[in-house]
Amino acid sequence: MSSPSLQIADALLPTSSATLGRAAEYLLSRRAGEGYWCGELTADTTLESDFILLELWRHPPQPDGVWNPPTRGLINKAVRSILARQLPDGGFSIYEKGPSEVSASIKAYVALKVAGIDTGDASLARLRERILALGGLQAANSYVKINLSLFGLYPREHTPSIPPELNLAGNLIYEMSSWTRAIVTPLSILHSMNPRRPVPAGFTVEELFVPGVPLAFVDREKILSWGNFFFVADRLLKLWERHGSRSLRTRAIRRAEQWILARTRHSDGLGAIYPSMMYVVMALDLLGYPPDHPDVQEATRQFMNLMIDDHRGFFFQPCYSPVWDTAIAVHVLGESGCVPGRALTPAADWLLSKEVRQKGDWSVKRPNVEPSGWYFEFANEWYPDIDDTAQVLLALSQSTASDPEAQQAARKRAIDWLLAMQGSDGGWAAFDVDNNWNFLSSVPFADHNAMLDPTCPDITGRVLEALAACGVPHSQEAVRRGVAYLKKAQESDGSWYGRWGVDYIYGTYLALRGLQASGESDREAYILRAGEWLRSIQNADGGWGESCASYNNGTYTADHSTPSQTAWAVLGLIAGGDTTSSSLHKGIEYLVETQQSDGGWDEDLSTGTGFPGVFYLQYHLYRHSFPVLALAAYRKARGATHS
């Protein structure tokens, strides 16, 4: 006679099978065309706020101070989009269901006021009160202050210096994360040329300063600190800006210009991400490029391509995610067994067409490695990333391209590239190798909390799973080093940190998948501890949910259940050897019961991470993709085959 747990499992198989079939069919129907998927990727109101400030830059006020930009219609839509997300306390958050955050709130205030909202308006008045309660303009991050200084709205002497001479200092910029160098290089041009762009007549943000609070920050408790060292260095840089070599600065600006223009080739904009693309538009303007110059027109077009203005509403995406979305969709659909193999061939062909075949920034530290890998967006040849490459390899392990020989060759190149990109500590990072000069996180413009690109458990776990799927043996040295890295990186409670997904649930699921694929026994104490942790944080409804606040708190912070995080937890439990617990069954029941009639799921939390503590993402296909993988893994664990 079978146990009650097995009886529940047997009863769940038919319903989970039906749920899986509907989910796979729905996900397949979300294909965008040409064999690829590209779901919406949304963030917070800072993107729309920055857009309004960019329009003030591109279309300055008339000599009499009247601002009447030709894009007024779009600006009005941006205003409505921002106001629609104002919180009851008057502020703006940086993630769904999150609290008011000072920098996002200040950006919104400035944008709304620039756009013509009167300071006496109730929305703006409540926002101003909330900003002051959060510490005022003095509490904003450095990028808010720098942006305002470009319009003379914040004292230049109290913003961090970003010297273009960084580009003359050997490979120093390659010790910063790829996204940081893509942002600060054009920004260094803006800052060094010290513009004071005009604002509408009478415009000011003086009302956002808290009286009596100093503008410059010095850590008086830790005088001997990297932060204070860089504060002093910043003061010296400001002396250099006034009295240093003009010829050297000019040469540095030109080097930065050349660096930028080179990386806009074979790419949908510099880094193919919103902030760097915005700063390129502004930098080219300051450098004297006329509006009809091809580089200016292309930079502007690529930036405006990030705008969504249709039945879905008006908002900007931080970038596009077609390679990522396609690789995940193909992998999970292949694992599901619910679609014929030929249905995934167009996607496999499309992914092969996106393989990187030229050297990018990564090659500075790996000059002798043959180019390969995949990027995140439609085009971003300079910046293939390790996470996307691993996910594409997982997708290609579940699909067959029209040209199997080309697929095999690409797979071999990608494996070699991944192995070459392993860090000295055994883990893998996102874009670079050994990008871990921790003291750089103390420079004044590093408060976007992502100055570096260190190795992380989530990417390492995915790479290990991909290597195993491609036939790399468990005994291979790189695999053993990766396993050792994950063992060392485990948190004391049994979880793993997730850098690119929220947060410990994400990191734990990927670490366990990688360890399982690498041949680790699910009877090992550290793996059993991870399973216990996952079961301990399950919500009463059977699902799992985690708040972005985990990053600020440095520990798991509960939230209501979501389909993507529930799927991650289920996948983690199964990878850890749990195929019978009531926690697992309740998780599957949650996915079955919350599926919508169309076969998909609804989700209202931000579960993707851009910059921890600063910028978060909603991947709108996550809620539909990962439940497919979880349900498929459950059926496989129960020994069932799809029919």
At 227 the pLDDT is 62
pLDDT of residue 302: 96
Cβ-proximal residues to 73 (8 Å cutoff; 6+ apart), any chain: none
**378 CB-near residues (< 8 Å, 6+ apart):** 268, 272, 320, 322, 323
pLDDT at 15: 92
Where, residue-wise, is CATH 1.50.10.20 in the chain? 4-42+318-437+450-637, 46-316
Q: What is the mean pLDDT of the chain?
A: 93
Confidence class of residue 5 from pLDDT cuts 50, 70 and 90?
low
Of 313-322, 334-343, 542-551, the least confident? 334-343
- The residue type of 245 is S
- pLDDT bin (cut points 50, 70, 90) of residue 242 is confident
**Chosen CATH of 4-42+318-437+450-637 out of 1.50.10.20, 1.20.1050.140, 2.40.50.140, 1.20.59.10:** 1.50.10.20
- Classify strands 544-546 and 558-562 as parallel, antiparallel or unpaired: antiparallel
Predicted confidence (pLDDT) at residue 10 exceeds the cutoff of 90: no
Q: Which residues contact 616 (CB under 8 A, 6 or more apart)?
A: 43, 44, 94, 95, 502, 548, 606, 608, 609, 610
Residue pair 214/138 in contact by the 8 Å Cβ criterion: yes
Q: Per-residue pLDDT tens for 623-639?
A: 999 999 999 999 999 87
Instruction: For the chain, state the CA radius of gyration.
Output: 25
Overall average pLDDT of the 115-122 stretch: 89
Query: Region 176-180: what's the mean pLDDT?
Result: 93
Active site residue 578: no
User: What is the secondary structure of 59-76 as a DSSP string?
Assistant: SPPPTTS----TTHHHHH
Tens of pLDDT, residue by residue over 573-618, are 999 999 999 999 999 999 999 999 999 999 999 999 999 999 999 9
Instruction: Give the pLDDT of residue 7.
Output: 59
- Percent of the chain exceeding pLDDT 70 equals 93
Q: Which residue has the tokens 């440095």?
A: 554
Confidence of residue 1 (pLDDT cuts 50, 70, 90): very low
The yes-or-no verdict on residue 224 having pLDDT over 60 is: no
Catalytic, out of 50, 387, 388, 458: 387
Q: Which two tokens stand for residue 289?
A: 């490029």
Whole-number percent of the chain with pLDDT over 90: 82
Strand partners, 608: 501, 617
Task: Answer yes or no: is pLDDT of 229 > 90.
Answer: no
Closest by alpha carbon to 111, among 200, 188, 210?
Answer: 200
Model pLDDT for residues 390-438, shown as the tens digit of each residue = 999 999 999 999 999 999 999 999 999 999 999 999 999 999 999 998 8
Model confidence band, residue 285 (pLDDT cutoffs 50, 70, 90): very high
CATH of segment(s) 46-316: 1.50.10.20
